[in-house]
Structure 1
Amino acid sequence: MVSAAEQGRIKVNQLRDELAGSLRVSTTPELGVNHILPALSTWMAAHDDLSVTYLADNHYIDMIDERIDIAIRMSPSINDSSLSSYPLTDVRQLLVASPQYLRQHPKINTPKDLADHQLICIEIMKDANQIDMIQTETNKKTRVKMNSRIYTNNVFMATTLAKEGHGLVRMMEMDIKKELESGELVEVLTGYQLPSFVLYAVTLNRDQQPAKITRCLEVLKKYFHAN
């Protein structure tokens, strides 16, 4: 005969494993539109009892205050013992411009040439108008501080400004994949690398995660592994 305590434990585990209730996901607007929604769309449609809330913001969101189940964060590393982090993919930074801009302005052959150009400054980035890069063949490090007269706190806005020929812009490759494939934006200084990041799915540290979180993590990992 199963004890009342054991019955209670079984019931709790059953509830934990049901893909129902609410799931709160935080991400940036550009990652949400370009990657997180495509990754989770079919999965969401298959689970009608699961209510999903997306908080899309370029600023840091406190997971406890906002009751976040999964946060999508980009960082060289996650060093917080209260969090569990799951790497999804490596992310390259690129310095890009439109073909129109490059035709109408001085050629860019070395980092020193950047002094003759304008950078569209994305203010949410640390040291937004400072470009650090490493020459691929020699591993020589270079730091350039570029001039800026156009500023924005929005990646979509910066992408549009760059496509319209207003300057160079430093972007995450995954945020401008379509523009690179279409040729609307092209990489400059291809012999140099900018610092890269890792895209993480982050959860609060628990002994056992609810099934809705573990399943969501599985779907995200599968999507980014395939792309």
Structure 2
Amino acid sequence: MSTISNEENNTSSYMKRLNGSLILSLDIIKHTFLAKDLNEVLRGVNDNLKKVLVKRLEGYHLRVDECYLLKDITFKDLPALLMAAFFLRIKKKGRRLSFSKKVFIPLTNLCRNYCKYCGFRKDPWSGGRFLKPNEVLEVAKLGEKYGCHEALFTLGEKPEERYVEARRQLASMGYKNTIEYLRDMCELVLSKTNLFPHSNPGILEKDELEILREVNVSMGLMLENVSMRLCGKGG
């Protein structure tokens, strides 16, 4: 009973702290955007931070050490940073927001990598597979029906390098590798719908980029880290 009681107390204490943080954050945001001008928000901010914010608002670039001041900002000074960012956005971009509706086409959830956080990838024995061309087109046309403008091809990275089953599935459709198949599926969507393909196929060689460039308006890469230290033992 005492263990349960302690867990309940710990949970209750955590929730109180969490709620307190949320309320504080909401108060900060409310204060920031109800303020009449930046000077009102800057009142009470420490001098070093104030100089950095004013410098950037005047159009000057910040030094590295000045950027570190922003990294270590406190809740107390957060309204000033938010307001400065707000003014800069309005100055550079205006108030108009734009977006492009896209439909996700999961070409394959097979992948050669094992990223621990990924909930998308599957092994062949757990349901991992490639979409067939008719399935790709079905998803694309459904997206087009609901007003999408882009076809976002999501897929694992070169699963044929890890799985015999991936190579078998590709071969059954007449392909040697994932990039060749992706290229043709992008072309299929381009020719049969009004959608613009955008692919996220992972790390590519130059010739692979050139192949996909012909049938993509843009491409993306999820870059988690570039630290060589993480490639070492224990990284």
TM-score range, shorter chain: under 0.3
Larger Rg, first or second structure (1 or 2) = 2
Higher helix share: 2
TM-score (norm 2): 0.21
Bigger strand share: 1
